[in-house]
Structures are given as structure tokens and as C-alpha cells.
Amino acid sequence: MDKVRVRFAPSPTGPLHMGGVRTALYNYLFAKKHNGDFLLRLEDTDQTRLVPGAEQYILDALSWCKINIDEGLGHGGDLGPYKQSDRKPMYRQYADILLEKGHAYYAFDTAEELDEMRQRMKNAGVPSPQYNSVVRDSMQNSISLSADEVKQRLDRGDSYVIRIKMPRNEEVKINDTIRGWVVVNTNNLDDKVLFKSDGMPTYHLANVVDDHLMKISHVIRGEEWLPSAPLHVLLYRFFDWECPAFAHLPLILKPDGNGKLSKRDGDRLGFPVFPTEWTNPETNEVSSGYREEGYFPEAFTNMLAFLGWNPGTAQEIFSMDELVESFSLQRVGKAGAKFDFDKTKWFNQQYLRSKSGDELAELIHSKIPKSKDADGVFLAKVCELMKERATFVEDIWESSQLFFDSPTEYDEKTHRKKWKEHTPDILKKVTELFGGMSDFSAENVEKEFKSLLEENEWGLGMVLPTFRLAVTGKGMGPSMFKISELLGKDEVVERIETAIQKLS
Ligand code: GLU
């Protein structure tokens, strides 16, 4: 096999949806798995749909996801430029080849004439009229008009487009790596415009020409492009070029499985559909992104990898290198993949837990007010303890306040239910016990605390909740013995004494 070269070819018509990121990811994984190249090409032939900021967004989002580009937009390479509008002068010659070979023709029809044709066909009972091999004979084009007339029109500079001349009644076969053989009869295909009156190619022509010139070996893209594949295959044939392999990825579905996941689903159900935050330049509407919501890029891409692919084993946590190692198009399914937001959070939680206290301390350090003057070793221990109950770094910080400030409020329910008349006396005994201890490690605190309870025949359920309430102000949380060790003896004793005064 020639060198594997794949490309991600987005159009800058808005931010990248997570489906787009998944397409980029699968291309990247496939390329790396086969020691190939991953290219980024911008398909901006439809200049009317350009959205300012979208190009930069695509670059930034891929970089945040650590989907590294070997060649292409913003990354150089020998086969550029990699933005189709910058390649504009290169395409005409290819349209001319098709004209010369008789696989394409000039069409001079005005917008009114096209409308009229559609109306006529609708009246005749055709639900979705197309400019095709049947209709073309009655339209204004170089097939229906005389050679003289065509020459005249071209000489006088009449506006025209170039259309493909779709053969009649031929079967086009595509061997899709994911779907197997897809067979389409050309009678169901229309004479698509390849070259527009503004001198720009359409997506179809530019896409095929560029994939050929950029030596793309595999076209891996979303299912929505499957209907275009027969046309692309025909273009390769008409040019006498080798066709790349095709793989059309399954859709990402709404959580209930009913239809394609859209931005509206995210708004409605409260999850981002974009990798990073996006501000709509027209409306200034801000759409949240996974980055800003506190997700690790590794968790996000790990989750995306599973939307359509599976490794065939029970393993779910994969580093990017492991994904590269395990990925194959053979294990990408045809059926749409349901998006599961809870699973996305679960992935983040797994990545959070796998980080050491030191790494997490580094991450929350910036969130801590300067006045707190938190020592790094202490912070790392706090993170180690609190990470088990957190999904995001932010959660760790929020639940760690108790290590920096003594409680100002006490959980009302625990107070009401657990704080009894004898509680102050019991807690006083606890402070006395703690005051006399020299080894205040979690294990020792636990041991001494439990023997005090045993000696007095106090149940754990009677003392532990009020002990927690007094020290942390909360009704729940991680081990009180570990919390005690981290706070230190004096602080714990002082907090219990304050609580006795405030709550009795
Ligand atoms: N420009 C197309 C898009 O925006 C790319 C389709 C393809 O990969 O061929 O998705």
C-alpha cells in the first residue's frame, strides 16, 4: 500500500461540532496507526457561507484535543495551499479536462429558467425535480444548443456553470470500508454543478481534485457525505485517477437515539456540543465548550473515540497512544452511536482520579486566593483525598474550602437530627482525647476515636456525624480521620470547641 495519507476537510461555516471532532480524531488515529500523514484542508469554496472566526476555531479546537496535524492549513507542506479559496486558479483546468472528454458541459440557464423547470416538473408530478439526463435536453446548455450558439454565448461572456454529464443507467459501485458495497444507479443522480459562474469550483470538484493532488489514500468522513460518494467515484473514473478508499462514519445520535445530535439537543438537555466555547459573531450568543466546562481533553477524545468504535474488549480508558494502537476502521460500526452525557462525565471522573495529588494541586493552585497561602504538599494531600468524590477540578476546589476556613455555617439537617443534649459532653471527651495525643495520623486518630466510643458504649452513628458537623460544617464527606490528620490536632480541637459553643 502507498503511504497512508488522510485528511480532515472541514468547511469554515461555524464551530466544529463534536461529530466533526470525531471525524478528525478517527482520521488522526488511522493515520498514526499506519505511520501515515494527517492533513488539514479547509473547504471554503462556498464563500457565501463563511463564518468569521470559524477557521481559527477549527485550529484551536484540534490543538486543544491534541489531534496533531502533520501537514496542511497552518502547518505547511509541499502540496499546498491547503485552503481551497487560495487554490482557486488551479481548478479550472480540471473542469476543462472533463469538458474536453465530454463528461461535463456548459449550462447557461438563468435562475428563472431553473425555477420554471422545477415548477414544470412539480406540476407533472415529480416531487423533487433535478437537473438530470432527462431534463438536460430541454434546458439551455452545450448539449441541447448548437455548437454555434454555444460559441456565441461563450464569446459574448454569458454567465454559465459547468455541470457533470451523468451517464444514463449505470451502476456505480463503492466499496466502503465500513458499509461494504454501496451500489447506486446513475439514473438517481443529477448533473451536479462542478464549476460555478463566479469561477470557483463547487465542493465536489474541489474535493476530488484536492484529494488526488494531495495524494489522499483514504477518505474517512461523516455519513452525510455518502450520497456524494458515487459522484466522486465517477469523477475519479473520468479523470483516470486512482480512487481513494472510502469510509463513511456513523452518525452521532441524540441521547434517546432519535435522530442526529444537534446543538439544540445540547441547549435543551444541558450539555455542550462544541469542544471549546464559541461566540457567534453575528448574535454574540455564547455556546459553552467542553474545555470551559472543565473537561480534560484526554477524557473528551476518549469519549469521542467510543462514539462509533469499540476495541472489542472491556477496556474503556485509552490514552491517545493506546487509541492509536487499538484503532481500526473494521471496528467502526454502521449504526448511529448514541451520545451519553453521563458517560462523558464518567470519563472525566476517571481521568481526574488517575491524576496524582501533585498534578491536581498544580491545577487548583491558580484557583486559590493569594491570601490562603496554601503549601504545595498540603494541597496535594487535600487533592488526593478529595478527588474520589469529584468529577471536575473545580469540584475539588469547592469541596476543599473546609481545609482553608473553619465552618461559618453548619448543615441544618444534621444539626436537627443528630445534635442531642449529650452531644456537647461527648464532643468534649473527644477534644480531651485528641489534646493528649502526640501521633495525630489518620490511623491513630481512628484507633483512639473508636476505642473511646467502645469504652463508653457510644455508637459510631451517634458520634461521627456531629464530629463531622463540628469540624467541617457538613453532613457528608470523606474520611473524618484523614480530614483530621490534614487539619492537625489544634485546628480540629479548636473547631470542635467553637461548634459546641455555637450549636448548643
Ligand atoms: N467539506 C466537507 C465538510 O465540511 C468535507 C467532506 C469530505 O470530507 O469530503 O464536512
Whether 185 and 75 have beta carbons less than 8 Å apart is answered as no
The pLDDT of residue 254: 97
> What is the position in ligand 1's atom list of the atom closest to the CA of 13?
4
Centre of ligand 1 to C-alpha 11, Å, is 7
Three-class secondary structure of residue 130 per DSSP: coil
Question: Quick one: residue 79, left, alpha or beta (phi over 0 = left, psi -120 to 50 = alpha)?
Answer: alpha
The pLDDT of residue 42: 98
Global pTM value: 0.94
Q: Is the CB of 407 under 6 A from ligand 1?
A: no
Three-class secondary structure of residue 162 per DSSP: strand
The pLDDT of residue 458: 96
CATH topology for 89-195 is Glutamyl-tRNA Synthetase; domain 3 (3.90.800)
Centre of ligand 1 to C-alpha 218, Å, is 13
Centre of ligand 1 to C-alpha 246, Å, is 13
In angstroms, what CA-CA distances link 124 with 31, 117, 118, 120?
50, 11, 10, 6
CATH topology for 412-503 is Arc Repressor Mutant, subunit A (1.10.10)
Q: What letters, b where the CB count within 10 A reaches 16 and e where it falls short, cover 113-140?
A: eeeebbeebeeeeeeebbbbbebbeebb
> What is the position in ligand 1's atom list of the atom closest to the CA of 232?
9
DSSP 289: B
Out of 3.50.50.60, 1.10.1160.10, 1.10.10.10, 1.10.260.40, select the CATH number for domain 263-351: 1.10.1160.10
Helix (H) or strand (E) holding 387: none
d(CA 425, CA 444): 22
Give the chain's end-to-end CA distance (angstroms, integer). Answer: 80
Shortest-distance Cα residue to atom 10 of ligand 1? 10
Three-class secondary structure of residue 393 per DSSP: helix
Q: Which of 88, 215, 263, 345 is catalytic?
A: 263
Question: Quick one: residue 134, left, alpha or beta (phi over 0 = left, psi -120 to 50 = alpha)?
Answer: alpha
Three-class secondary structure of residue 9 per DSSP: coil
- Per domain, the residue ranges of the chain are 5-73+204-251, 89-195, 263-351, 355-403, 412-503
The pLDDT of residue 504: 85
The pLDDT of residue 81: 98
d(CA 399, CA 299): 22
The pLDDT of residue 182: 97
Centre of ligand 1 to C-alpha 221, Å, is 7
The pLDDT of residue 339: 98
Q: Is the CB of 58 under 6 A from ligand 1?
A: no
Q: Classify the C-alpha dihedral 384-388-389-393 as positive or negative.
A: positive
Mean pLDDT by 10 residues, the chain (504 residues): 93 97 98 98 96 98 98 97 98 98 98 96 94 97 98 98 98 98 97 97 98 98 98 98 98 97 95 98 97 98 98 98 98 97 98 97 82 80 95 94 93 96 97 97 98 96 97 96 97 98 92
CB atoms within 10 A of CB 325: 13
Centre of ligand 1 to C-alpha 17, Å, is 13
Residue 429 known to be catalytic: no
The pLDDT of residue 374: 72
> What is the position in ligand 1's atom list of the atom closest to the CA of 11?
4
Probe residue for ligand 1, chosen from 26, 57, 207 as the CB with the greatest number of ligand atoms within 8 Å: 207
The pLDDT of residue 371: 64
d(CA 46, CA 13): 9
The pLDDT of residue 375: 82
d(CA 347, CA 319): 12
Question: Quick one: residue 477, left, alpha or beta (phi over 0 = left, psi -120 to 50 = alpha)?
Answer: left
Residue type, 230: P
Whether 379 and 365 have beta carbons less than 8 Å apart is answered as yes
Residue with cell 462514519: 249
Edge-to-edge, what's the strand order for the sheet holding 104-107? 104-107, 161-164, 193-195
Out of 3.30.565.10, 3.20.20.450, 3.40.50.1370, 3.40.50.620, select the CATH number for domain 5-73+204-251: 3.40.50.620
